[in-house]
Structure 1
Amino acid sequence: MSLVEKLLILALAAQALLTVSILVWMGMERVPRVRNGEIAMAEIAVDRDAYPLKARLLSNNFDNQFQLPVLFYVGVMLALWSGGAGWVEVILSGLFVVLRYVHAGVHVTTNHVFRRFGAYFAGLVVLGLLWVWLVLRIVLAPSI
């Protein structure tokens, strides 16, 4: 396996780690409140409004990890499957993951909407560039 392929797999793992970390943190915010009776099961059976703000922010961010990152996972897997992945894919993938960490950090702390949107939009642009690059590289690749 090449260094490029290993780095792409590390980018996938870093994004997965972010998702799992948010899930664990969200559980640490939610479960004790239900367990100690602070929040009744009936209050959370349909929506999240009964949870305190931090738990709702974490929940919203966890949901967000299944939006743009899904296209990232598919793009990186396509890059690996198609062969010939290079440093462009590594750089764009790494940048996307860094921007996802920035977005998550803002989302679950200050939740400053303009900063959060800036990180989200920058990630969207990087992801768009990754996909354009992948499509062009694969479609324009010489056939054997």
Structure 2
Amino acid sequence: MMYQGILLPVFVLVALTFGVLFWTGRRLSLAGGPAQGWFNYHLQTLFYVVVALALPLRQADLVMVLLAWVFVVLQIFHAGLFVRSSGEAAQGSSLFIAGALVLLAMWVYFALRILFPTLT
């Protein structure tokens, strides 16, 4: 079970990234700064990482696949809104927040399956 020990810091870093995302993203969007456009790249990176970790650890079950598709569909809709509105209306888009929450659910589900394998 050494993989649990090495992945625990990854989960802490992911939690830190989400904390900074929601804290500064909300503050920057209220101040009129570039919030979601810049953070969207971080969300996609976190998505690729959770998928890359889930595959070799055999954690890519039906729940992970469904959450992944929900995240991707939300990203597609968010990108369409961003392109159509020249980026201004997409700054406070609920689609961005919904995508971030789905990705957070993926990470929490993955972390719980790795850290507490007897629960699942």
TM-score between both structures, scaled by the size of structure 2: 0.60
C-alpha distance in 1 between matches for 2:74 and 2:99 = 6
User: % of aligned pairs identical?
Assistant: 37
C-alpha distance in 2 between matches for 1:77 and 1:131 = 12
Q: In 2 relative to 1, CA 116–94 (structure 1 residues): closer, same or farther, beyond 3 Å?
A: farther
SS for the counterpart of 2:55 is: helix
| 1:81 Cα deviation from its structure 2 partner | 1.6
Q: Which runs of 4+ in 1 moved over 6 A?
A: none
SS for the counterpart of 1:85 is: coil
Instruction: State the AA in 1 paired with 2:105.
Output: L
Residue in structure 2 matched with residue 125 of structure 1 by the alignment: 101
C-alpha distance in 2 between matches for 1:69 and 1:101 = 12
C-alpha distance in 1 between matches for 2:59 and 2:105 = 17
Larger Rg computed on CA atoms? 1
For structure 2, list consecutive stretches of 5 or more residues without a partner in the other structure.
1-35
Cα root mean square deviation, aligned: 2.3
| 1:66 Cα deviation from its structure 2 partner | 2.3
Q: How many equivalent pairs are there?
A: 82
C-alpha distance in 1 between matches for 2:39 and 2:79 = 9
Matches for 1:1-144 after TM superposition, within 5 Å = 66-110=41-85, 111=87, 113=89, 117-142=93-118
Instruction: State the AA in 1 paired with 2:96.
Output: Y
Kept in 2, the 8 Å contact 1:89–1:130? The answer is yes
RCO (CA 8 Å, sep 6+): is it higher in 1 or 2? 2
For structure 1, list consecutive stretches of 5 or more residues without a partner in the other structure.
1-59
Residue in structure 2 matched with residue 15 of structure 1 by the alignment: none
| 1:112 Cα deviation from its structure 2 partner | 5.9
TM-score between both structures, scaled by the size of structure 1: 0.50
C-alpha distance in 1 between matches for 2:54 and 2:101 = 18
